[in-house]
Amino acid sequence: MTLIFSPDKYGTLLAQYQPKPITTEAENERAIAIAQELEHRVYLTQEEETLLELLLVLIKQFEEENYPIPEGSPHDILKHLMIENNLKQEDLIGIIGSRGVVSEVVNGKRSISKNQAKTLAQFFHVEVSLFIK
């Protein structure tokens, strides 16, 4: 079965959500909420997938302009992202390992493994390459 993209249905979605370049934090939060709602649906129409792709591009553009990630080591980037997201080491327990592992990773006593890098990238919604050097 081949799904056909419907410009009319897509137009209706665009009219409903009215996506546009994001210029404020409130607009960004609204776009993120819509994108998350779409991502959690079991089935997306082609029109909804296209809207989701558009929203992700707009969100990425806004966040790259307003929240640039500094150059640095993977540990520096992890610390930066933790500060930006108001997270403590305890918040990463179970995500990248035990309390001891998290402490060693955050403090630079242990390098970030490839699996941890992938998990952190998904958690922070950033590129995995930030955690691999």
Residue linked to tokens 């997306």: 44
Q: Which of 41, 66, 91 delimits the end of a domain?
A: 66
- Residue 96 in domain: yes
Q: Torsion angle, CA of 101/106/109/114, rounded to 10 degrees?
A: 70
- Chosen domain end from 38, 66, 94: 66
Strand partners of residue 93: 97
Does residue 89 share a domain with residue 112? yes
Considering the domain architecture, whether residues 34 and 81 belong to the same structural domain is answered as no
Whose CA is closest to 35, among 7, 4, 63? 63
User: Bigger pLDDT: 102 or 70?
Assistant: 102
pLDDT at 2 over 60: no
Give yes or no: residues 87 and 60 share one domain: no
Query: Does residue 41 sit in the same domain as residue 79?
Result: no
d(CA 53, CA 25): 19
Residue 133, pLDDT above cutoff 90: no
Give 125's DSSP letter.
Answer: T
Rounded to whole angstroms, the Cα distance separating 57 from 19 reads: 11
* Cα–Cα distance, 2 to 130 (Å, whole number): 38
55 and 79 inside one domain: no
pLDDT digits (tens, 9 = 90+) for 60-89: 999 889 987 778 889 999 998 999 889 999
What confidence tens digit (pLDDT) does each residue in 21-37 have? 999 999 999 999 999 99
Q: What is the CATH number of the domain that holds 92?
A: 1.10.260.40
pLDDT of residue 70: 72
51, with CB counted inside 10 A (0-12, 13-18, 19+), is: buried
In which band, very low, low, confident or very high, does the pLDDT at 114 lie, cut at 50, 70 and 90? Answer: very high
Range of the domain at 98: 74-131
Percent of the chain's residues with pLDDT above 90: 76
- Percent with pLDDT over 70 in the chain: 98
**Is the same domain home to 82 and 104?**
yes
Asked if the structure places residue 1 within a domain, the reply is no
Per the structure block, which two tokens stand in for 110?
A: 């242990």
**pLDDT at residue number 69:** 72
Residue 2 inside a domain? The answer is no
Alpha-carbon distance 21 to 28, whole Å? 9
CB-based contacts of 73, cutoff 8 Å, min separation 6: 108, 133
pLDDT of residue 67: 81
Mean pLDDT score of the chain = 91
Q: What is the pLDDT of residue 127?
A: 87
What domain count does the chain have? 2
* Domain assignment of residue 33, yes or no: yes
